[in-house]
Amino acid sequence: MDGSEEHFAQVRELTVTYSPEDADPIRALDGVSIEVRPGEVVGILGESGCGKSTLASALLRLLAPHARCEGGTILVRGRDLLNLSERELRTIRGREVSLIPQDTALSLNPVMTAGSQVGEVLRVHLPLNAQQRRERVKELLREVGFDHPEEIYSAYPHQLSGGQRQRIAIAQAVACRPALLIADEPTSKLDATLQAEIIALLSQIRRQHGTAILVISHDPALFAGFADRIAVMYAGRIVEIGTSAEIFGRPLHPYTQALVRIATSSVVTGARVRGRLPVIEGESPDPTCIPVGCRFEPRCSERMDVCSRRYPREFLPEPSRPVNCFKYGE
């Protein structure tokens, strides 16, 4: 893998630790590796607190001040972002790699109109005059589904619904036609109908522009029919990678099996409609005191003695199906 055309973006052995002044250090990512090919949709699946959003922030070097990358590489078109200056990073953020943040109510500026906020991305990266920017913003607003872009252009975030704000965030993210779009829980605050509309919009953007998408979610159902591959994350590590069909049809890791089983059950029984989210018995390990063995071992119905003694290395029980579980070897 050379990181050029075959893989637009590559993360290799990325380790990130939070070191708050008044608390113990937390290793949020521990040797995470993932790659995204041009035009591909890759899903990052895992429960809250597993490190998904930290990965999204790390990919754009937007980590909190008390977080640091302790090892690994983040390659975008062969350039390691961890070695770039802030000035160099500003030429990449928004132009080559963009982020759809998790909470648009916090990410959008409340005192700027929606159109101005989308136009600001264009102002930073493209040589357009004010009129050209305005026309380009209206085109983008139409592209993300607004029938009356002029009205939306002049609206403030508080005058828009949650679904409309999400579309504004998407318009910002795709304004400069980035090659990679990172979507951090893009539907978590929306109802089922709006969720489907947002996923359809992202699929349309991918088809029309060949945009690669790294989409992050705790909900397996979000990836069905959307993601090409899914990486399953647990307690700061990726435990399994497979195509969408493989993850849903033949999940290998016990954690993946539990996620898929409960999610499928909730859809069949209507639990999702009644608002009950899928859960797995037990809790994730304390991030300040990670065990030496498999991190899922305390919650695993198939645990063995070896699981508590050391972390399983990566096995390949099927071609291109990496999984970290002693079920598949020693």
**pLDDT tens column, 30-44:** 999 999 999 999 999
Residue range 164-174: average pLDDT? Answer: 96
Q: By the 8 A CB rule, do 175 and 186 touch?
A: no
Q: Percent of the chain scored above 90 by pLDDT?
A: 81
Q: Where residue 4 falls among pLDDT bands split at 50, 70, 90?
A: very low
The Cβ-side half-sphere exposure at 228, using a 13 Å CA radius, reads 13
**pLDDT tens column, 300-316:** 999 999 999 999 999 99
Nearest to 141 by CA among 170, 162, 113: 170
DSSP collapsed to 3 states, the chain: CCCCCCCCEEEEEEEEEECCCCCCCEEEEEEEEEEECCCCEEEEECCCCCCHHHHHHHHCCCCCCCEEEEEEEEEECCEEHHHCCHHHHHCCECCCEEEECCCHHHHCCCCCCHHHHHHHHHHHHCCCCHHHHHHHHHHHHHHCCCCCHHHHHCCCHHHCCHHHHHHHHHHHHHCCCCCEEEEECCCCCCCHHHHHHHHHHHHHHHHHHCCEEEEEECCHHHHCCCCCEEEEEECCEEEEEEEHHHHHHCCCCHHHHHHHHHHHHHHHHCCCCCCCCCCCCCCCCCCCCCCCCCCCHHHCCCCCHHHHCCCCCCECCCCCCCECCHHHCC
* Angle subtended at Cα 85 by Cα 83 and Cα 88, rounded to the nearest 5 degrees: 105
Give pTM, 2 decimals: 0.91
Sign of the Cα pseudo-torsion (84, 39, 108, 11, in order): negative
Contacting residues for 290 by C-beta, under 8 A, at least 6 apart: 27, 30, 235, 236
Mean pLDDT, the chain, integer: 91
Q: Is a pLDDT exceeding 80 seen at residue 186?
A: yes
Q: Where residue 112 falls among pLDDT bands split at 50, 70, 90?
A: very high
Residue 42, beta-bridge partner list: 214, 229
**Bridging pattern class, strands 212-217 and 229-234:** unpaired
**pLDDT tens column, 235-250:** 999 999 999 999 999 9
**pLDDT tens column, 251-292:** 999 999 999 988 877 554 454 444 555 578 888 999 888 889
Residue range 192-220: average pLDDT? Answer: 95
Residue 181, beta-bridge partner list: 98, 213
* pLDDT at position 278: 53
Of the chain, the end-to-end C-alpha distance in Å amounts to 27
Q: Where residue 2 falls among pLDDT bands split at 50, 70, 90?
A: very low
Beta strands across the sheet bearing 97-100:
97-100, 180-184, 212-217, 41-45, 229-234, 237-243
